[in-house]
């Protein structure tokens, strides 16, 4: 019987075990130690940024970035509706209100041309999510933000190493955030990072993540902070992952090319594209079923599961969730809704073999035409 093919699986094939054992042998297992500083320094360099501050997960990375930018009650932050819920929730943690924007149909990222129409006197900034590994078209977004005095946060949780006009994500806006969850390109199991060139924003992030304690005066707390620190063990894993990031990114691209080749003659399915100004890192091999496919997306996923292939649906648009439905005030966000209902993420681990990809594609084609084969 063929083994089940997971939608994601980390590649712990470098120095991860050696570094973790070093943490255990030296007893540096908490939120201090040499791996934390090394991981932060190396990740800042990877992003071509001046400062990188580790934290315990990607969600709190967004929260820390917004706190450092001064987001608070009564503020509004423009957020793509097609994203993971953490992006919107972090805005709400600050007492602010996420204002949801629709997707554009090609990359499924936020439609930057709609931003200006959503700006009000309460608007503080914009969060640009590089969805499933493809960068947002940042230049027009940044131009609109600068015109209106707004900040821009890059949510690059899904796009480690992505390029926008030959510039690496994480270095494109006022501040950027990353996740190192177990399915990410670089993983710590859990973990996050906030990246910026602004020394004052970096100072505030460090203050807020460490309970608000004054770094020059132990146990003196000039502000309310949070316990959002990463552990040395997590940083050890992250550093080992970062040491082989070029290989990880190359494998992601190889697998995406294999999917494109295997599905080139399969009608009714399309993969996330790559715009000429971007380099998609294909965090997930994301596919859309054409409306002409008789089977629903969920039915196709069920058939793949029967064949031992794990998949994931696209995220629900934020404005369809119970706690955020009223936030759109009757506005219709049709592109995100359509993409979300037709999209699925195929197995995307760097450990996939060519045979695995071929098996997934063969079964996807079979699952899509199953209804057509019935009398």
Residues labelled catalytic: 184
Best CA proximity match to 135, nearest among 160, 115, 155, 162: 162
Rounded distance, CA 183 to CA 8, Å?
6
Rounded distance, CA 351 to CA 333, Å?
37
First to last CA, the chain: 30
Q: Name the 3-class secondary structure at 61.
A: helix
**Is there a contact between 122 and 75 (Cβ–Cβ < 8 Å)?**
yes
Best CA proximity match to 87, nearest among 174, 154, 42, 37: 154
Rounded distance, CA 244 to CA 282, Å?
17
Rounded distance, CA 269 to CA 207, Å?
48
CA angle 183, 55, 204 (to 5 degrees): 140
- Is the torsion defined by CA of 110, 287, 188, 82 positive or negative? positive
Paired with 210 in beta bridges are 227
Q: Name the 3-class secondary structure at 163.
A: strand
Best CA proximity match to 203, nearest among 230, 182, 179, 223: 223
Rounded distance, CA 165 to CA 173, Å?
14
Q: Name the 3-class secondary structure at 200.
A: helix
Rounded distance, CA 218 to CA 210, Å?
11
**Is there a contact between 103 and 111 (Cβ–Cβ < 8 Å)?**
yes
Question: Judging by DSSP bridges, how do beta strands 76-80 and 123-129 pair with one another?
Answer: parallel
């Amino acid at each position: 019987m063929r083994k089940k093919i997971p939608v994601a699986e980390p590649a712990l094939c470098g120095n991860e075990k050696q570094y973790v054992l070093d943490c255990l042998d030296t007893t540096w297992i908490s939120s201090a130690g040499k791996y934390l500083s090394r991981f932060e320094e190396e990740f800042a360099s990877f992003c071509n940024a001046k400062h990188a501050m580790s934290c315990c997960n990607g969600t709190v990375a967004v929260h820390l970035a917004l706190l450092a930018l001064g987001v608070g009650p009564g503020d509004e932050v423009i957020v793509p509706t097609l994203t993971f819920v953490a992006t919107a929730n972090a805005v709400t943690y600050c007492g602010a209100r996420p204002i949801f924007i629709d997707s554009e149909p090609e990359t499924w990222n936020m439609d930057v041309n709609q931003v200006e129409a959503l700006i009000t006197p309460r608007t503080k900034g914009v969060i640009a999510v590089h969805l499933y590994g493809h960068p947002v078209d940042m230049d027009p977004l940044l131009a609109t933000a600068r015109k209106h005095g707004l900040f821009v946060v890059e949510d690059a949780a899904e796009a480690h190493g992505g390029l926008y006009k030959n510039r690496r994500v994480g270095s494109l806006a006022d501040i950027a955030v990353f996740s190192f969850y177990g399915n990410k390109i670089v993983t710590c199991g859990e973990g996050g990072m906030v990246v910026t060139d602004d020394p004052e924003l970096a100072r505030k992030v460090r203050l807020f993540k460490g309970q608000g304690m004054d770094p020059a005066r132990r146990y003196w707390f000039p502000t309310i902070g949070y316990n959002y620190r990463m552990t040395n063990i997590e940083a050890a894993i992250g550093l080992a992952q970062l040491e082989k990031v070029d290989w990880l990114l190359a494998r992601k691209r190889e697998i995406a090319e294999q999917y494109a080749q295997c599905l080139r003659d399969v009608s009714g399915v399309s993969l996330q594209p790559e715009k000429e100004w971007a380099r998609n890192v294909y965090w997930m091999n994301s596919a859309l079923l054409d409306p002409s496919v008789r089977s629903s997306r969920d039915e196709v996923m069920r058939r793949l599961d029967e064949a031992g292939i794990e998949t994931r649906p696209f995220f629900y648009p934020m404005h369809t969730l119970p706690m955020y439905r009223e936030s759109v005030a009757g506005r219709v966000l049709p592109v995100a809704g359509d993409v979300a209902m037709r999209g699925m993420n195929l197995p995307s681990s760097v450990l996939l073999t060519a045979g695995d990809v071929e098996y997934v594609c063969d079964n996807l084609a079979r699952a899509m035409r199953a209804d057509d084969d019935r009398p």
